[in-house]
Structure 1
Amino acid sequence: MNPELSWLPGWLPFVLLALPVAFALGWLASRLDWRQLRLEDRRNPRAYFRGLNFLLNEQQDQAIDAFIEAVQNDPDTSELHFALGNLFRRRGDYERAVRVHQHLLSRGDLSQAEHQRAQHALALDYLKAGLLDHAEAALLKLEGTPFQTQARLARLANHERARDWSQAAAIARTLDGAQDLGVGAGSGAQLAGSFAPRLAHYLCEQAAERLASRDADGAQELLRRAIETAPQAPRPRIELARLQMQRGQAAEQDSARAEAARLACDTLIAALDASPAAAPLIAAPLVKAAQACGQEAPVRTRLQALYAQAPSLDLLEALIALRAPLPPPAGESSAEDLRGWYLHHLGHESSLAAASKWLAGEKLEHEEHHPLVQRALDRATQPLLRYRCAACGFEAKQHFWQCPGCQSWDSYPARRVEEL
């Protein structure tokens, strides 16, 4: 025996022989496991990619069938469950979408992030299904999660649909406070702008409810709070001026009615100062208030200045109602030639409505045909005098603070369709 190896123990040769055998067995086992994994993965991706192909081709029913097959092959895959639940919701099958997301929530192996995601998806299912009570409960569970801001916005929309203005106002204050603290950007949704104007709308809606209940004092207090909340918003002052005029009309003494009209006039002048762009909406009630309290001259001057900066049909009609003189070189206007304002307006704006109003007082060569022509012009101008939502294009004869079509706030410009 070699004396240099005599110190080695006798069992070492067996260990040296066992190492290659163990390596060979491990390699063989890994090959068998790899083959099994490849067989499983071959089935799962095939169903998954088939479903994805159907989805890209907008064949949602076939995509759902393919994803169901993929989920059956691998029931522990949460992403497939999310995809399947979203497909059910998009197709309008809300009951099956709810079951998918409830199944995800019942699993104990989900991470916290996936659990919160499933809770958010379940809330969306309830919202789309119109189950507002269930949606509210599901959304409340998202407080303190990355979906908190999205949940609060959804709850805000819920309370608006239910016309629960006090609850909507509470959420709007929370969102506005969170934004002031810099919380909104990191809460799953980026907040754009302040919620103060919307909160002012909620207060105005509550004031309308108080008026319906004959609580004029409570309505006036709410409108003053709305003005303090959003000083630049025109609606609270317009609504307050309307209330002041109503209270004055109910008074028995002429002096009380005149004082109420003066207060309304001051309120509307303040609205012009805060929001000059809303002048077309303010002009008509301002004219009535000015005529009721004898303030035609200062109001006329103010409206003439606004019209010179931005001519509009509503300001034009207000100036005619106040018998405003035409600007130079026309000079002073008598009651008979106030229609000259329409020609003056046509010099600035190509307005079919103004042309129709001017033509209504003219004598034509064939006067017997004038009613037919006038009727056709009036009919043609009616669509041009509507208001149009800037968000969805919904048109209406009257101005809305909230669009009846898309439910957006302040989406109606103060100008008519012809002036846009």
Structure 2
Amino acid sequence: MEFDFQWLLIGLPVAFALGWMASRIDLRQLRHARNDAPRAYFEGLNLLLNEQQDKAIDAFIEAVQHDPDTTELHFALGNLFRRRGEFERAVRVHEHLLGRSDLGPDGRHRAQLALAQDFMKAGLFDRAEAAWRALAGTPYDGQAQLALLSLFERSREWGRAAEVARRLEQAGGASFAARIAHYECELAEAADAQQRPEDAEAALARALQAAPQAARPHLLAGWRARRQGRPAEAMAAWDRLRRIQPTAFLLAAAEYARAACDAGQVASARAALLEALATLPAVELVQALDELEARDESTAEGHGEERLQRLLALLGQQPSLSAVQMLLALPHWYASEAASSALRDAVAQAARPLQRYRCAACGFEAQHYFWQCPGCLSWDSYPTQRVDAL
């Protein structure tokens, strides 16, 4: 049977026409899909800017359905789920991104970062830790280490927090010496509570080595020595603190006076407290001096006038109700006109911030009278009588 070339001449144009029609149909469908996806995407952005998150999520889901290969849409959708507290849906989106074989290294790292943030926000700290650790050696390594540091602080795992902080310091970031000292002090206090004094001593030594100028290690060293019946060592630790951070010494001033009485070093302690008071007027130092003189029989009497002058000087430099209370406790303070004048000035200055006008509509307080409340914008809502706001 011979082949009829006439059919070939007829079939070729027919096949060409059919192929051309099929390509036009495919192009029209592709163009329609591409037009639908950006429209849904921009609609989602517009809803998001208008703070309509529910409708924005629906628009992004529609956009993802039209173009499932677009990673940015997935990231936007997952972040929206996380912001709304729908952590399970956010995790599914970001795990889907991680499971895609066509995702490049940058996109994979971004998805891993987003997944770690999902677990962190959801309170799944064990899974969050694993997700953060998976970012080691990536461009997000520094951010992951900081997140691990915050995670260990929140879970009070001070030893692991100290390890991360030291790694961050070695990486050339900011100094974490003060934080490391706090972590070691927490470990020392926990070891003392569990009757492990050797571990506590080692942790305290690491804290002092990490941050010699930090206040807490010196405070803790003094308190530990005081509890263990070594008042002289406690005084030595607090004397170092007084020279390094005078303001932090106020936290131990009263106990410093008691330790001085137990160690028989009243004279030197009194000189140190007077020196501190000369540069830092503070009620705590005056109270420590009073306790030191009251507990020492050799100086218990004959210091009434000196105590009065100390309080008057304190009231002149730092008026406070605490100093007024101490002044009122002195016998025959009223016999001094200077004491009466200082008392009036201190009370007036301490009471001035408490005297405020209070809005009857919203409770907004202010030291000045307003015809229109700055808080709720109500007119004539301020009574003309001031109140003492505590």
- Amino acid of the residue matched to residue 273 of structure 2? L
- For 2:274 and 2:64, locate their aligned partners in 1 and report how far apart those are by CA, in whole Å: 71
* Residue segments in structure 1 that go unaligned for 5+ positions in a row: 1-25, 185-192, 249-259, 325-331, 366-376, 385-420
Equivalent in the alignment of 1:217: 198
Letter in 2 for 1:139: W
Answer whether contact 2:258 2:292 (CA < 8 A) is retained: no
Contact conserved, 1:68 with 1:84, CA < 8 A, in 2?
yes
Q: 2:273 aligns with which of 266, 285, 303?
A: 303
What CA deviation, in whole Å up to 9, does each residue of 1:128-148 have, x standing for no partner?
111111111111110000111
Indicate whether 1:199 and 2:180 are aligned: yes
Residue of structure 2 in register with 1:270 after alignment = 240
Question: Within 5 Å, which residues of 2 pair with 1:141-160?
Answer: 141-160=134-153
Taking the aligned partners of 1:316 and 1:82, their CA distance within structure 2 comes to: 61
* CA pair 218-45 structure 1, distance change in 2 beyond 3 A: same
Post-superposition Cα deviations, 1:259-278, rounded to whole Å, max 9, x if no partner, equal: x1111111111122222331
How many matched pairs? 313
Q: Which amino acid aligns with 1:233?
A: A
| CA-atom RMSD in angstroms | 3.1
Q: Name the CA shift for 1:68/1:244 in 2 (closer, same or farther; >3 Å).
A: same
Structure 2 distance, partners of 1:316, 1:116, is 59
DSSP-derived class of the 1:227 partner: helix
Distance 1:99 1:297, change over 3 A: same
8 Å CA contact 2:109–2:138 kept in 1: the answer is: yes
Matched, 1:290 2:283: no
Look up the SS of the partner of 1:347 in the other structure.
helix
**Equivalent residue number for residue 10 of structure 2:** none
Equivalent residues of 2:238, 2:252 under 8 A apart: yes
1:319-334 matches, cutoff 5 A: 319-323=289-293, 334=303
- Map 1:111-190 onto structure 2 (within 5 A): 111-179=104-172, 184=173
Aligned position for 1:77:
70
Say if 1:231 and 1:274, in contact at 8 Å, map to a contact too. Answer: no
Distance 1:96 1:233 in 2: 45
Q: CA separation of 1:364/1:282 partners in 2, compared to 1, >3 Å: closer, same or farther?
A: closer
Q: Does residue 1:98 correspond to 2:79, yes or no? A: no
Q: Give, in angstroms, the shift of residue 203 of structure 1.
A: 1.1
Aligned runs of 1:20-31 on 2, under 5 Å? none
Give the TM-score taking structure 1 as reference length.
0.68
Selected match of 2:38 from 35, 45, 63: 45
Q: 1:343 aligns with which of 312, 329, 332?
A: 312
Tell me which of 73, 79, 83 is aligned to 1:86: 79
Task: Using the TM superposition, give the Cα deviation of residue 237 of structure 1 relative to its aligned residue in structure 2, in angstroms.
Answer: 1.4
TM-score by length of 2: 0.73
Q: Whole-Å Cα distance in 2 between the matches of residues 363 and 267 of structure 1?
A: 38
Identical-residue share of aligned pairs (%) = 48
